[in-house]
A and B are shown apart, each in its own frame.
Chain A
């Protein structure tokens, strides 16, 4: 242990701002070598402490990359951790036993052969894959394989098991995203105004950049300010703090998506305050991507939070006070500062004086134009004055860049905020905000601490005020003292307005547009300013086109590091201003989110019938019928068909849609819903009905029984049940003044179909109160009585074509009745049968299945249901369309068919004839249902054919697994045409 800690050659002594716990050490491996880390270290900070400078290889050219931002915003530190790819090592805590490796290197991070692509970079300009490697076309699969292997990120383990992910809904009056100075001020202001506040912070501590700032006021003072403010926030009863939480998206009506570890948070907030700060961004110059080149905030994060410093001799390039402060900090921790180049003309006098006291050369109006590389990292930089007159080379192994910021305004833009380029500040500032969305701090372009504090308080108060009113009602829901709040808001707004005008630029106006070969605009995709110029020259000159063609900003950082620079370069080469150039659209997520987290809690509804456990115990192969579990068969569906045809069978049809219709207007309703007549049905009778939609397309079918003059019992298909309910209610609530109560009774009753030549005998044994003789209880009638002692509704209907009784009983007694019937049927050789057997038998009878044999365009006249349709009825849904459609004649029909040669085609196979299609065939129809019938010993089915080909005996061609087979139109039904068995 002692030896590995002594390997931390770049670790500083302890200091109060550090968040590491030196008492606890963990070890992990990186590229096969073991490293140690303190509790609190990130993978990157631990590696940097051990002197590692190369963390990855770039996407296209495989150039060495080192830490740049240290804040999870750039791609340079992406590593593979175990089976998880694309881990941002600079924000991921190091844990015991982690196996960390570089991504997409061959054979290793240190010796990556693929960096040879740099030698042929002239063949790999932007968009090269649209131009190169096109011919010969046959070699493309090889090119693709090589290219895919060369360019890329981490590896996905396709055998990885899904983890456990959680989900929670939350509610707030005011949500503040960002726990820095502005965010904390907002939260406190809103909470003091009695709002229910949630404060979301993506890192493990509150404080934002206060945690790693502050040279001029003394590091301790700033650190203490951050800690005490954070303590105040934590102690406030109205504030819930969520740390390690990324708010990745803002959706309609202030719906926030966030992730905390493995938990997805869906938060509805009345007001939103975005105080997410700004991303520090690098300037563009030759070789600006070398290891050893870091943003000022990265250097300060490493020093203040982790006690790590990554260099011995530094050059600082600055365009704001923070750069100078960083230079002073480096001196204090023992790094030599060889030079400070500041792009401004007027520098902060006090800071300059301190630097000069330490013997540091300070060069105003000077910037960096080129970096030189040693074996593995930065070796020197070329500085040049902005007027081009003076240039010098300075040796260094650390280049610190503090030249500019881009606001982290993604959430605001997602909410519909508008931004505008400010020529004075050289940053995007907010031009307008939507309702109930507020912003404060660096995200608005304010870098001065006093401004940030004021804006924070203002946003918090405004958010509380906005949340105090309840949407539509405009009623006050918070105990607000509105007048004093408004007064303070007005006061703050005035102060801020004044100071806004005095804001100075913290971002440099200028880039070095050398159009050198290796000046990177986009670090993620290796896009240089030369690539951008070339894309524009080729005509991809608008920002949106440029982005898609050159892929700038399309990598893991999604523009955080490069959007502004890309815009500047684009504007420069188009001869436009940045305002004229415009921006691209930003969409969620703000930062990468695990797919598993988005999936959230695993909740996949499953519906089971009351007899489910019985089926499973019996060995049924269960299938998914929508959300329901149903038995497909119990081992041998053919045996089940035989049992029903020859003896008796029992099937669980509890999934059927069932409805109670009560009221005097029920017959009138049925007349309008169905294509056939219902007024004179009569108590105790059952009728089959088909429902059309307004376009006369077949929507659903089922049987309906009249139990009393004002009480009807309707059935519908299992999958259509809820849609039928919605449909009927839409008419009842949409203007039809009918006195009807519709109740969804699908769940109230278990249902089973007892069917076969011995069905009556079986039922006789367990049924009371009903005369089951054919004369007393004919086909298509309903009776009520008792089965196995339970009140039951019996419907004599026939999907299978045998004598059958649908038995509907209250669900809680379903299993009892089922078992009683199975028991009673034992002596007759009863078998339970499943969906597959039922499918075969209904096909033998030529019964259609709506949605399988019919589709979204099928009307009843084409579908073999013309006998049912009563066009002389006054009105029914679909009649108008049907009348109009039938004036055109019938173009295609659903007919029965058989296969003379016994081939079994597949459902969905196309019916074809010679014609103008791609292989000399045109499609003229399709197979919708087909089975080998055990009863008739032949292949039977249903298919769609052109109307002129529907005569019995007509042959046609079916494309079956690439071959053409002959089918022949057959008469329906295939079995028991007279219906003798049904009516027995």
Chain B
């Protein structure tokens, strides 16, 4: 089995007391279609909601668009495909098209405030937003591990190395504060 190359080859994790930055490696299944919310049983999810399921994290991006962060993209694809029937719902494995990183720690909001204009003071757990981070399009998902705020940042693969460098630099001031 050939390994999927990482877009962050050569990048060194930041392991500060107040801020940690590491690569996020996850499968990503993209689900699109008006009937998607029925198929996923996700009618109760608002845009920006994050739901933890057995398969992973389900994020609602738009009325008719979801993304599932999961280790098992193929299995999830098969399972969901069975629910589709003759409705027009498109499933695409977009794992290869993205690069991801995870920022966690007490000072996470201070780091993010340097690279993204969202109000992170109001960015609650299990919330996601698509915005501009370091001047490029990014999906930001907050999913705390334990009691420390944790944000996943998912960007286009081609830009992942650049975004990593910017976030890493922004984190320097707070990593050991």
Q: A608-B161, A741-B33, A814-B5 are in contact. Are A601 and B90 (CB under 8 A)?
A: no
Taking the complex as formed, is B170 at the interface, i.e. its CB lies under 8 A from any CB of chain A?
A: yes
Taking the complex as formed, is A540 at the interface, i.e. its CB lies under 8 A from any CB of chain B?
A: no
Do B32 and A748 have beta carbons less than 8 Å apart?
no
Partner of A811, one of B157, B161, B162, B166: B157
A62 to chain B, nearest CB (A): 45
Q: A601-B166, A812-B4, A815-B5 are in contact. Are A607 and B115 (CB under 8 A)?
A: no
A605 to B5, CA, bound (A): 21
As a 0/1 sequence over residues 86 to 129 of chain B, the CB contacts with chain A under 8 angstroms (1 = contact) are: 00101010111110000000000000011111110110000000
Do A171 and B96 have beta carbons less than 8 Å apart?
no
A660 — nearest CB in chain B belongs to which residue? B92
Taking the complex as formed, is A169 at the interface, i.e. its CB lies under 8 A from any CB of chain B?
A: yes
Taking the complex as formed, is A816 at the interface, i.e. its CB lies under 8 A from any CB of chain B?
A: yes
Do B134 and A605 have beta carbons less than 8 Å apart?
yes
A810 — nearest CB in chain B belongs to which residue? B96
A746 to B156, CA, bound (A): 9
A810 to B134, CA, bound (A): 26
Do A747 and B90 have beta carbons less than 8 Å apart?
no
Q: A601-B115, A606-B159, A741-B33 are in contact. Are A811 and B96 (CB under 8 A)?
A: yes
Do B117 and A812 have beta carbons less than 8 Å apart?
no
Contacts of A196 on B, CB cut-off 8 Å?
121
Contacts of A604 on B, CB cut-off 8 Å?
135
Contacts of B44 on A, CB cut-off 8 Å?
none
Chain A interface category by residue count: 35 or more
Taking the complex as formed, is A7 at the interface, i.e. its CB lies under 8 A from any CB of chain B?
A: no
Do B4 and A813 have beta carbons less than 8 Å apart?
yes
A745 to B96, CA, bound (A): 10
> Would you list which residues of chain A between 794 and 834 have a CB under 8 Å from chain B?
810-816
Do B159 and A743 have beta carbons less than 8 Å apart?
no
Taking the complex as formed, is B2 at the interface, i.e. its CB lies under 8 A from any CB of chain A?
A: yes
Do A741 and B113 have beta carbons less than 8 Å apart?
no
Of the candidates A743, A748, A790, the one having the most CB atoms from chain B within 10 angstroms of its own CB is A748
Do A166 and B96 have beta carbons less than 8 Å apart?
no
Do A747 and B88 have beta carbons less than 8 Å apart?
no
As a 0/1 sequence over residues 47 to 79 of chain B, the CB contacts with chain A under 8 angstroms (1 = contact) are: 000000000000000000000000000000000
Partner of A743, one of B9, B30, B88, B166: B30
Do A605 and B135 have beta carbons less than 8 Å apart?
yes
Taking the complex as formed, is B136 at the interface, i.e. its CB lies under 8 A from any CB of chain A?
A: yes
Taking the complex as formed, is B38 at the interface, i.e. its CB lies under 8 A from any CB of chain A?
A: no
Do A169 and B166 have beta carbons less than 8 Å apart?
no
A170 to B110, CA, bound (A): 10
As a 0/1 sequence over residues 155 to 171 of chain A, the CB contacts with chain B under 8 angstroms (1 = contact) are: 00000000000111111
Do B97 and A748 have beta carbons less than 8 Å apart?
yes
Taking the complex as formed, is A662 at the interface, i.e. its CB lies under 8 A from any CB of chain B?
A: yes
Partner of A607, one of B4, B117, B134, B159: B159
A-B contact count (CB 8 A): 103
Taking the complex as formed, is A847 at the interface, i.e. its CB lies under 8 A from any CB of chain B?
A: no
Of the candidates B88, B94, B158, B173, the one having the most CB atoms from chain A within 10 angstroms of its own CB is B158
Contacts of B162 on A, CB cut-off 8 Å?
605-608
Do A747 and B98 have beta carbons less than 8 Å apart?
yes
As a 0/1 sequence over residues 599 to 618 of chain A, the CB contacts with chain B under 8 angstroms (1 = contact) are: 00101111111100100000
Do B161 and A169 have beta carbons less than 8 Å apart?
no
Partner of B158, one of A266, A607, A810, A816: A607
Do A743 and B161 have beta carbons less than 8 Å apart?
no
Partner of A166, one of B32, B88, B114, B122: B114
A655 — nearest CB in chain B belongs to which residue? B158
A606 to B113, CA, bound (A): 21
Q: Majority SS of interface residues in chain B?
A: mixed
Do B158 and A603 have beta carbons less than 8 Å apart?
no
A614 to B130, CA, bound (A): 32
> Would you list which residues of chain B between 1 and 39 have a CB under 8 Å from chain A?
2-7, 9, 30, 32-33
Contacts of A663 on B, CB cut-off 8 Å?
88, 90
B73 to chain A, nearest CB (A): 11
A170 — nearest CB in chain B belongs to which residue? B113
Do B96 and A749 have beta carbons less than 8 Å apart?
yes
Contacts of A423 on B, CB cut-off 8 Å?
none
B118 — nearest CB in chain A belongs to which residue? A169
Do B116 and A169 have beta carbons less than 8 Å apart?
yes
Taking the complex as formed, is A789 at the interface, i.e. its CB lies under 8 A from any CB of chain B?
A: yes
B121 — nearest CB in chain A belongs to which residue? A171
Contacts of A610 on B, CB cut-off 8 Å?
5, 7, 157
A662 — nearest CB in chain B belongs to which residue? B90
B95 — nearest CB in chain A belongs to which residue? A812
B61 to chain A, nearest CB (A): 12
Contacts of B173 on A, CB cut-off 8 Å?
166
As a 0/1 sequence over residues 736 to 766 of chain A, the CB contacts with chain B under 8 angstroms (1 = contact) are: 0001010101111100000000000000000
A628 to B159, CA, bound (A): 9
Do A816 and B5 have beta carbons less than 8 Å apart?
yes
Do B92 and A743 have beta carbons less than 8 Å apart?
yes
A858 to chain B, nearest CB (A): 30
Contacts of B32 on A, CB cut-off 8 Å?
741, 743
Contacts of A168 on B, CB cut-off 8 Å?
113-114
Do B159 and A266 have beta carbons less than 8 Å apart?
no
- 29 example contacts (A-B, Cβ-Cβ < 8 A) are as follows A168-B113, A168-B114, A169-B117, A266-B117, A601-B114, A601-B115, A601-B166, A601-B170, A603-B134, A607-B158, A607-B162, A608-B161, A609-B158, A610-B7, A610-B157, A660-B92, A662-B88, A741-B32, A747-B97, A747-B98, A748-B92, A748-B97, A749-B96, A811-B157, A812-B3, A813-B2, A813-B5, A813-B96, A814-B5
Residues of A within 8 A of B (CB): 166-171, 196, 266, 268, 601, 603-610, 613, 628, 660, 662-664, 739, 741, 743, 745-749, 789-790, 810-816
Having A601-B169, A660-B92, A743-B30, one finds 18 other A-B pairs with CB under 8 Å, namely: A169-B113, A169-B114, A171-B121, A171-B122, A608-B162, A609-B158, A610-B5, A610-B7, A662-B88, A741-B32, A743-B92, A747-B156, A749-B96, A790-B2, A810-B4, A811-B157, A815-B5, A816-B2
